[in-house]
């Protein structure tokens, strides 16, 4: 399973999992795989806002896949 983060970061970041991760595993992988400096800072949102949305949307996707 592969999660890809694109619009929030300066370059695409892919996170690979052997199975559907738990919420905690996904959050840990996002923390480990995306350095804070990689998030965009522009008129559409701060890095903190983009990071928050990345966690929120990744969790929504994880839940949908798990259904």
For 9-57, the pLDDT digits (tens) are: 999 999 999 999 999 999 999 999 999 999 999 998 999 999 999 999 9
For residues 11 and 38, is the Cβ–Cβ distance under 8 A?
Answer: yes
> The pTM is what?
0.89
Angstrom distance (rounded) from CA 55 to CA 59: 6
Q: The tokens 């919420």 sit on which residue?
A: 23
pLDDT at 67: 86
Helices (H), 1-67: 23-33, 47-65
pLDDT at 27: 97
pLDDT at 61: 96
Contacts of 51 (CB under 8 A, 6+ apart): 8, 34, 36, 39
CB atoms within 10 A of CB 5: 21
């Amino acid at each position: 399973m592969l999660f890809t983060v694109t619009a929030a970061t300066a370059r695409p970041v892919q996170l690979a999992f052997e199975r559907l991760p738990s919420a905690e595993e996904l959050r840990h992988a996002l923390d480990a795989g995306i350095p804070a400096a990689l998030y965009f800072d522009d008129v559409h949102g701060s890095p903190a806002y983009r990071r928050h949305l990345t966690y929120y949307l990744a969790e929504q996707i994880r839940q949908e896949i798990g259904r």
